[in-house]
Structure 1
């Protein structure tokens, strides 16, 4: 029954990849699991002196920001609305393969350069209130005076960027759209530090419990779950290093030289996170070894006790076996105090062996 259930799960898991099989290249097929009932589009249109924050209800209103003199950030929540996303993409003249990659949530972090825009895909990671890791794909389209972000569902790590835009904090209101892209990517990377901090705390707690020598029976399940979470973070971070490295070396009119320095800082953060992830990965393997050693030690303790008990009873069983034989003539059986003497000898053997094992520190 368990094997059957496992096969069902594997079949369901692989269906996301089968959605693209046989499709024409450029066909928009949403492969994620988060579905919103309502498409939500927010926009921040700003310059140094003003900010206009709008929630777009009519999809056609998203087309109004392409040729403005200000900078616009359009945030689209709900990748399952493929028709609306295609409408937005057609207006901003996005390549059909770009639109396909936006709704394909199994995409690897990457960057694609086009004449009028740059397309970036990365993974957003954070923990919810129950400390469950949330992994979500985020796509960015950088244009001359706009950045469009596409998310699976509402809820992200960009609240600090919104606050900086609303209150004109920092440089974001005075820079070009490439700086806005940097700020958004930097916010995603900064939350990687929060994720690895929580991972580090979990590893330390498990390590302390294992060193105490009395681990819970289900602690191996927690170690395996933690291992999967670390692999998720690793898959999100390592390809992103290549993306940011390419942005540093890119020669594109949309990326200004003064912004390259900020992207270099993001790359340094990614290197730091990557090093921590490698350390935590080694620690997880050590925890697995430590758990197996703890289980083996507990088994050895049980076997030691059983062996000592068996060893104690070997001479006692030998004596009882001799005098339990059915020979007609055994001289000691005729003696009046033979029974009590035999009990005394057996008790002395028992106590003497216990004292011997104690001195040898086997007990």
Structure 2
């Protein structure tokens, strides 16, 4: 279910809500310019932060919100609005793009696939300035290592572009990493569909509902990102250049595509629930068919036993020497005859579905 950290009712705007188990912040700064990489190092003290080189970019990555003082000092260093800092710390926020003074706030939801195929969703706050980019992450670890490698390797496109291109690259990496998550979900859904048909159990139904909830969470994360990226592409903004807007169109297309895939998966999950219910109904019908056949075989036996179990004195067969053997012989003949009849009708085995050839 949805749970959001929020300040107490009546608290002042910009109040930060830091959970007790929040990890200690880790700072990392990367400085580069057209001349190449200047520095890439972790920061233990905010006084170690350096300004962006001339015609260059400074990328400060913050992972963990466990120290309120450091976050407030960082906001004061870069002149961040208190409401902006509240949006990136009090998670989760709805994905959005907002302009605060000279900064552009971009809130997105990052998906990570763990080693055990577990999928986690984490909020990432991107603050774009004239010559710097700040990224705020609530936990350690992200999907930005390919970007860092390209910067440290002196990739020409990064060296020649402004900070808006770095912000675009981060947003594009977040959206592209939805594809591996969707592949994992697709493979799992194929397994669930097969299990729902072959061996429908309550455990399978629980897994299907769990998958449905996971897709709902992914959809809730992706839909607002479409609006956020759309606003970055089409709404005028001095911090995002026209060339970067062209790149953002491609990212927006990827976001739309992943959203459509999630919608398709949701329909498939609903279909799997119907498949499970149909399989359970077929299984119940098979059980009822077997019970009906057994009951039908015993109906004439019960009739004979009822007739000869009546307490009439003048019943001819009661004093007959071969009455008892004749009774069992007749009952056996009836049972065998009915089994032969049911077998010829094909009622003793499940009905096979005839395959219709596709004319195409």
1:217, distance to aligned residue in structure 2 (A): 4.5
Q: CA RMSD for the aligned pairs?
A: 1.8
Matches of 2:5 and 2:74, distance apart in 1: 25
Residue 218 of structure 1 aligns to a residue whose secondary structure is: helix
Distance 1:358 1:172 in 2: 77
Counterpart for residue 60 of structure 1: 47
| C-alpha distance in structure 1 between counterparts of 2:161 and 2:6, whole Å | 43
For residue 241 of structure 2, the aligned residue among 240, 256, 266 is 256
For the 8 Å contact 2:106–2:126, the answer to whether it is kept is yes
Query: Paired residue for 2:353?
Result: none
CA distance in 2 between counterparts of 1:348 and 1:23 reads 88
Quick one: which of 222, 246, 250 aligns to 1:237?
Answer: 222
Contact 1:109 1:122 in 2 (8 A): yes
CA apart distance, 1:17 = 4.7
What residue is the counterpart of 1:7 in the other structure? Answer: none
User: In the alignment, which of 102, 107, 112 is matched to residue 126 of structure 1?
Assistant: 112
For 1:317, the equivalent position in structure 2 comes to 302
For residues 310-361 of structure 1, give each alpha carbon's deviation from its aligned partner in whole angstroms, at most 9, with x where no partner exists. Answer: 1111111111111112222211011111111111110011111111222222
Say whether the 8 Å CA contact 2:31–2:53 is kept in structure 1: no
Measured in 1, the distance between the counterparts of 2:86 and 2:54 equals 27
Aligned positions of 1:255-334 closer than 5 A: 255-334=240-319
User: Residues 17 and 184 from structure 1, CA distance in 2 versus in 1: closer, same or farther, beyond 3 angstroms?
Assistant: closer
TM-superposed deviation, 1:65 = 2.2
1:65 is paired with a residue whose SS is coil
Q: List runs of 5+ in structure 1 lacking aligned partners.
A: 1-9
How many pairs are equivalent?
Answer: 347
Equivalent pair of 1:20/1:29 in contact (CA under 8 Å): no
Aligned partners of 2:202 and 2:54: how far apart in 1? 62
CA contact (8 A) 2:111 2:181 kept: yes
Gaps of 5+ in 2: 349-360
Superimposed CA distance per residue, residues 294-318 of structure 1 (whole angstroms, 9 cap, x where no aligned partner): 1111111111111111111111111
> Where does 1:95-244 land on structure 2 (aligned, <5 Å)?
95-169=81-155, 171-211=157-197, 213-244=198-229
Pick closer, same or farther for the CA change 1:170–1:188 going to 2, 3 Å: farther
**Which stretch has the larger CA shift, 147-156 or 317-326?**
317-326
Distance in 1 (alpha carbons) for counterparts of 2:121 and 2:226: 18
Cα distance in structure 2, aligned partners of 1:188 and 1:117: 20
1:199 Cα deviation from its structure 2 partner:
1.0
Which of 9, 13, 27 is 1:25 aligned to?
Answer: 13
